[in-house]
Structure 1
């Protein structure tokens, strides 16, 4: 039996601000549907990913900004750092660890993301 992780809820305060931010990061807007006055569902997917994020109204009861250490994986951390910086995203310097190289950023609500190159630089 396969079990596939396909959707992660991200708690945000301002739906349109979050959508604009994640579009700037490079995520694709898959859905933006207002179901009722209580529910608006926005789904966005990073390029090449089988897993998406969702935010909106009536999506999660988590406190905005409480999502910590969401992680995406890239093949070239230097390219990812340059791309994100070029898109105006405030990213950390590259952090080299024995298990990979990372850059970090947060969305406007403070939900934190790690971008990992699984093979450390220079190997």
Structure 2
């Protein structure tokens, strides 16, 4: 059992290393950033009181674009809940089309520990994830 767990962890770390070494930074367009922000807002209770930091992105070996960012939204108690990270992706798009591919949320943490873990994951994957500027 321990050998199996060790093997699974080793394969996981190797896979993360492959993603990190093949990742290429991507500059998101204003339209892509708009799609990301609108997608995040659509999942929030109060869609009008949210601020976003600059998202970071990398192109993966599969042709998709992994996006990491931060947002700060008002909670149900009328105060801001603090910066929360998110991770999502744009699937690879046909270069012939004029439409943006859909943005899919992969992770939206529910607490500070999960946010810290996601920030570490994004940073280790090669995505620069600056805090929200005030």
By percentage of residues, which structure has more strand? 1
Q: Same fold (TM over 0.5)?
A: no
TM-score normalised over the length of structure 2: 0.24
